């Protein structure tokens, strides 16, 4: 199992234990308080709902309800909370008492001050049996409009008096179940005239709600629903009533059992931390000791694997790093040995001839000085190749890029090497599908092509052929150098681009250069955003591909 999952598992164990203990304590120590609060709330819920509904009907608004809430909360010794249907708090006895709101313990009860229009069943039956259904519908519409008007007058008048801090008007319920106020006209408050104007302005809107019920076979249910929708626009909005709350005295809830539980959780955390520390510290100490040995030069240092979790992956990463350092050290030693080998032969030749000339064993001649000059040029070429390779691998090789036609460059390279190919008895041809625009350094690409063509001619027997091809491939441009030479063994292909590697194990200079050309060529191609690859088989020749990104002109 992953180390991370083990940590998560331990944390979950601790958290689960803590939650379980806390839940057990909460249930055991607060069950009685919750039961008592629920019983008290249930007993007083119906009367409280009716009290608030009556207040809204008498006052036409919820303004001033906080005084009623505060009085009822004090009388019943319980928390009262009123919210709208969206959960926004209208009034809370805890807030009125200057304390933080506690959690409620009951489901909300609906306080709806909007009345429901009901048509007496005997009246509807008599009308339906005695008259035309259409006429009956018009009669019920008139009754509905009248009740909307009377209820609007009642609500607006009560609201106006409340705003002026005047006593609410008395209410009576008519035969349709609608509370109707008395004394809405001729009052000294000045509310009557305002209400009459408001009612007159809304009569056409009232009509738009009831006319939708025309054509119904039984218009009464439809008109009841239309009445409720219309009065909802001006009646006080429905509220949700919450009664009771959980006591918030922490000392009464937690007590001694809570302290014991906290101590147990603390012990579990300490034990779990100790296990994790022991599990982590041992491989970390091993890695620390191994890193010190590695820094002291012991590149064969390795650490044992400790599993498949993150620590095991860290150990494997350390071992891979140590292996890479060891391989790099060995490669550096091989590089020094190869450079020494490459320089030893020409230097020995130069030294031998110079000593012979000094001792008078060899007479000075133009041919001798020409041979010595060739040896010096060879050393200079090796040093230049090493410098180019170092700059290329460090990303500091200078390039002068420009737009050029790769097809023309291939043809130019073919002409430049035609004399060497003819002298070796090798046919050198080129096939191009130009123009092939690229953005590159012309001199560096000629250096790459020169190396590939020179190698192809060198390893192709007399009578053979070297073919150059340049063609587009999707959004890239490809240069192919194919020869009919001796080819490269499959086991040698992975080493073709390594430093100082040559297919000839005898390292005969007649059949090869410094062994750095292909390494430099591939780095140049890659610096141009492309790649250099090879495919070959013994006796079937070799094919090199240079791939470059195309450039639209």
Q: What's residue 480's pLDDT?
A: 94
- Last residue within a domain, chosen from 179, 205, 235: 235
CB 483 within 8 A of CB 460: yes
- In sequence order, the 6+-apart residues with CB closer than 8 A to the CB of 72 are 48, 51, 80
- Last residue within a domain, chosen from 203, 235, 267: 235
In a domain, 284, yes or no: no
In a domain, 315, yes or no: no
In a domain, 357, yes or no: no
Say whether both 431 and 479 belong to one domain: yes
Say whether both 68 and 44 belong to one domain: yes
Q: What is the pTM of this model?
A: 0.41
Instruction: Give the domain CATH number at 543.
Output: 3.30.565.10
530: left (phi over 0), alpha (psi -120 to 50) or beta: beta
- Last residue within a domain, chosen from 222, 253, 284: 253
CB 108 within 8 A of CB 85: no
Q: What's residue 545's pLDDT?
A: 94
Q: How far is CA 454 from the centre of its chain?
A: 53
Q: What's residue 250's pLDDT?
A: 44
Say whether both 249 and 109 belong to one domain: yes
Q: What's residue 197's pLDDT?
A: 75
Any idea what the Cα angle at residue 254 is, between residues 252 and 257, rounded to 5°?
120
**Number of domains observed in the structure of the chain:** 3
Chain mean pLDDT for the chain: 78
What count of Cα atoms within 13 Å lies in the side-chain half-sphere of residue 12?
6
Say whether both 198 and 223 belong to one domain: yes
CB 325 within 8 A of CB 352: no
CA dist 423 → 101, 384, 420, 458 (Å): 103, 27, 5, 11
In a domain, 329, yes or no: no
Say whether both 52 and 189 belong to one domain: no
| Residue 120 scores a pLDDT above 80 | yes
Say whether both 158 and 130 belong to one domain: yes
pLDDT digits (tens, 9 = 90+) for 365-385: 887 777 777 667 666 766 766
Say whether both 433 and 530 belong to one domain: yes
DSSP letter string, 31-84: HHHHHHHHHHHHHHHHHHHHHHHHHHHHHSSSTTHHHHHHHHHHHHTS-EEEEE
In a domain, 376, yes or no: no
| Residue 1 scores a pLDDT above 70 | no
In a domain, 268, yes or no: no
Residue 474: strand, helix, or coil: coil
| Residue 24 scores a pLDDT above 80 | no
Say whether both 69 and 197 belong to one domain: no
In a domain, 469, yes or no: yes
Say whether both 46 and 185 belong to one domain: no
| Residue 77 scores a pLDDT above 50 | yes
In a domain, 293, yes or no: no
Say whether both 67 and 155 belong to one domain: no
Say whether both 455 and 540 belong to one domain: yes
Domain that holds residue 540: 399-549
CA–CA gap between residue 493 and residue 542 (Å, rounded): 10
Any idea what the Cα angle at residue 227 is, between residues 225 and 228, rounded to 5°?
65
**Sheet of 80-84, strands arranged across:** 89-92, 80-84, 239-243, 109-111
pLDDT digits (tens, 9 = 90+) for 463-521: 999 999 999 988 899 999 999 988 888 888 888 887 766 655 544 444 455 567 788 88
The pLDDT confidence band at residue 251, using thresholds 50, 70 and 90, is very low
Say whether both 514 and 470 belong to one domain: yes
């Amino acid at each position: 199992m992953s180390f991370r999952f083990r940590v998560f598992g331990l944390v979950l164990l601790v958290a689960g234990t803590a939650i379980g203990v806390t839940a057990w304590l909460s249930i055991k120590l607060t069950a009685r308080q919750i039961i008592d609060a629920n019983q008290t709330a249930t007993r007083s819920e119906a009367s409280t709902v009716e009290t608030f509904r009556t207040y809204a009907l008498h006052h036409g608004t919820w303004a001033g309800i906080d005084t009623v809430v505060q009085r009822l909360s004090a009388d019943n010794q319980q928390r009262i909370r009123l919210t709208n249907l969206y959960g926004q708090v209208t009034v809370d006895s805890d807030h009125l008492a200057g304390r933080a709101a506690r959690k409620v313990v009951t489901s909300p009860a609906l306080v709806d001050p909007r009345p429901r229009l009901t048509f007496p069943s005997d009246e509807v039956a008599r009308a339906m049996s005695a008259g035309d259904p259409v006429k009956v519908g018009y009669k019920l519409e008139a009754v509905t409009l009248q009740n909307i008007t009377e209820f609007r007058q009642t609500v607006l008048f009560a609201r106006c008096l409340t705003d002026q801090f005047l006593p609410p008007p008395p209410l009576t319920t008519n035969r349709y179940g609608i509370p109707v106020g008395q004394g809405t006209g001729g009052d000294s408050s000045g509310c009557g005239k305002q209400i009459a104007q408001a009612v007159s302005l809304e009569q056409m809107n009232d009509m738009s709600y009831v006319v939708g019920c025309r054509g119904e076979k039984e218009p009464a249910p439809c008109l009841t629903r239309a009445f409720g929708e219309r009065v909802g626009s001006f009646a006080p909005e429905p509220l949700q009533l919450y009664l009771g709350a959980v006591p918030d005295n922490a000392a009464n809830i937690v007590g001694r059992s809570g302290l014991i539980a906290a101590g147990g959780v603390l012990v579990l955390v300490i034990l779990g931390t100790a296990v994790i520390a022991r599990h982590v510290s041992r491989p970390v100490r091993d890695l620390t000791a191994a890193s010190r040995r590695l820094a002291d030069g012991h590149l064969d240092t390795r650490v044992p694997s400790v599993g498949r979790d993150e620590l095991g992956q860290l150990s494997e990463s350390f071992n891979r790093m140590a292996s890479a350092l060891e391989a790099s050290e060995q490669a550096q030693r091989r590089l020094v040995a190869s450079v020494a080998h490459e320089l030893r032969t020409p230097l020995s030749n130069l030294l031998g001839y110079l000593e012979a000339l000094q001792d008078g064993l060899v007479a000075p001649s133009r041919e001798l000085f020409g041979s010595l000059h060739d040896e010096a040029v060879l050393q200079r070429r090796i040093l230049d190749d090493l410098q180019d390779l170092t700059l290329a691998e460090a990303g500091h090789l200078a390039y002068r890029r420009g737009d050029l036609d790769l097809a023309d460059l291939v043809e130019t390279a073919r002409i430049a090497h035609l004399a060497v190919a003819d002298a070796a008895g090798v046919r050198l041809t080129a096939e191009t599908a130009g123009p092939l625009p690229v953005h590159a350094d012309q001199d560096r690409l000629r250096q790459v092509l020169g190396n590939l063509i020179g190698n192809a001619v060198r390893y192709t027997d007399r009578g053979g052929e070297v073919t150059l091809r340049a063609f587009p491939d999707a959004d890239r441009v490809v240069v192919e150098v194919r020869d009919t030479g001796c080819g490269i063994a499959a086991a040698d292909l992975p080493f073709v681009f390594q430093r100082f590697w040559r297919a000839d194990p005898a390292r005969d200079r007649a059949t090869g250069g410094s062994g750095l050309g292909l390494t430099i060529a591939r780095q140049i191609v890659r610096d141009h955003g492309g790649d250099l690859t090879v495919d070959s088989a013994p006796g079937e020749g070799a094919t090199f591909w240079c791939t470059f990104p195309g450039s639209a002109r």
